């Protein structure tokens, strides 16, 4: 008896060209890792490796080769189990966060019977939903306003807008339009600049955004500019959430150094990008010790990855909407029990998982 590991590629197709300040994407290449015990081959754990171009440190030409190596390593262990700690502490996986996330997910799934239930909590049992923000993608003014109207009609009380792709004055007009329709006590607005502002003009733009009672802004300037970001966080009229800034910061010492140097109001955790489930939990521990807020966000994974992130999130006392509304982006997503109802994500157990 031993573990058997394999992987399959899968191309996700967007329903529209998803635009950020880094450009537009129409499809997303992911890889599903499958893990089983040869003694019970009908029980299969599944995880998703879905690095993003331009963001993930493991979006590399040799990714498939690495996946092959990982499968060969596990297949050669002649053991019935491997722990999450053993996965996360593998030295040769430190630079492969999306692979680590996929392996952790597959291991937990296998351990719990291959039913895509990784953690037993109120969410995975279908007893509680997770409040999420409605994601509004970049596009022309009409396209963005159409999305906003749709999200408000669907019952969202928190919207997240991608900004930095249009003229800033136009983006402010869109915010004005939202605030005319829904005041602050009815609707929370988050914005995500994806590093689109320059350090020289960031504060002026933040000051103008503050007039619309914006809850927070993600990554106003590009990552790696710790001093400039620390100055913004110290004086900003809009709370700042670090996002891309966390990518590639793999060791506890460096993570503490980053948080202590920048002192952000929030951090945003994307397990695919920061190293998986355990790595995300470690970031949360560091943030909470420093009274830094956080929320979890998916990173364009299929429902396999989204499910793992959502179930991890539900292990915590959730105090604000999470960024887990990406399951409806694709024409060919994996069918799942994940359902969005009135601005909340639910795990409806009566819905079956599609085949991977």
For residue 289, indicate whether it is catalytic: no
Looking at residue 24, its pLDDT comes to 72
The residue ranges of every structural domain in the chain are 3-111, 130-347
Higher pLDDT, 20 or 345: 345
Task: Give Cβ neighbours of residue 68 (< 8 Å, ≥ 6 apart).
Answer: none
**Residue 340: predicted pLDDT:** 94
- Of the listed 66, 160, 162, 205, which one is catalytic? 162
Helix axes 277-289, 97-111, angle to 10 degrees: 110
Q: Does the pLDDT at position 167 exceed 70?
A: yes
Whole-model pTM: value is 0.93
pLDDT, residue 178, reads 87
- Is 162 assigned a catalytic role? yes
CATH number for 3-111 (one of 3.30.70.3000, 3.30.390.10, 3.30.70.360, 3.40.190.10): it is 3.30.390.10
pLDDT at position 75: 87
The CATH fold of domain 130-347: TIM Barrel (3.20.20)
- The pLDDT tens digits for 111-160 are 999 999 999 999 999 999 999 998 887 778 888 788 888 888 888 999 99
Q: What is the pLDDT of residue 23?
A: 65
Per-residue b/e over 33-68, b at no fewer than 16 CB within 10 Å?
bbbbbeeeeebbbbbbbbbbeebbbbeeeebeebbe
Confidence class for position 83, pLDDT limits 50, 70, 90: low
Confidence of residue 3 (pLDDT cuts 50, 70, 90): confident
Of 34, 66, 205, 270, which is the active-site residue?
270
CB 109 within 8 A of CB 37: no
pLDDT at 1 over 60: no
89 pLDDT above the threshold of 70: no
């Amino acid at each position: 008896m031993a573990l058997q590991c394999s992987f399959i590629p899968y191309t996700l197709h967007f329903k529209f060209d998803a635009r950020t300040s880094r450009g537009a994407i129409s499809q997303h290449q992911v890889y599903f890792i499958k893990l089983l015990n040869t003694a019970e081959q009908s029980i299969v754990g599944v995880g998703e490796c879905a690095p993003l171009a331009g963001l993930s440190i493991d979006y590399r030409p040799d990714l498939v080769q690495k996946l092959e190596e990982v499968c060969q390593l596990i297949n050669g262990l002649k053991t019935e189990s491997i722990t999450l700690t053993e996965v996360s502490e593998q030295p040769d996986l430190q630079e492969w966060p999306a692979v680590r996330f996929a392996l952790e997910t597959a291991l937990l799934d296998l351990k719990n019977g291959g039913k895509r239930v990784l953690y037993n909590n109120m969410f995975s049992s279908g007893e509680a939903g997770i409040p999420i923000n409605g994601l509004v993608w970049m596009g022309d003014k009409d396209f963005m306003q159409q999305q906003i109207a749709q999200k408000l009609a669907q019952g969202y009380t928190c919207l997240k807008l991608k900004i930095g792709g249009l003229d800033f004055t136009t983006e402010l007009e869109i915010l004005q339009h939202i605030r005319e329709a829904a005041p602050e006590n009815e609707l929370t607005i988050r914005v995500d600049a994806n590093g689109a502002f320059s350090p020289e003009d960031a504060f002026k733009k933040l000051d103008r955004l503050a007039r619309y009672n914006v809850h927070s802004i993600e990554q106003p300037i590009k990552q790696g500019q710790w001093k400039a970001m620390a100055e913004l966080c110290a004086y900003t009229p809009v709370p700042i959430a670090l996002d891309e800034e966390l990518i590639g910061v793999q060791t506890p010492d460096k993570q503490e150094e980053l948080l202590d140097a920048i002192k952000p109001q929030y951090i945003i955790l994307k397990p695919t990008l920061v190293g998986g489930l355990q790595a995300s939990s470690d970031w949360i521990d560091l943030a909470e010790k420093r009274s830094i807020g956080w929320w979890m966000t998916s990173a364009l994974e299929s429902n396999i990855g989204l499910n793992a992130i959502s179930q991890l999130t539900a292990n915590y006392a959730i105090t604000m909407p999470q960024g887990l509304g990406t399951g409806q982006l694709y024409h060919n997503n994996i069918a799942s029990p994940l359902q969005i109802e009135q601005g909340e994500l639910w795990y409806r157990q009566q819905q079956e998982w599609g085949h991977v």
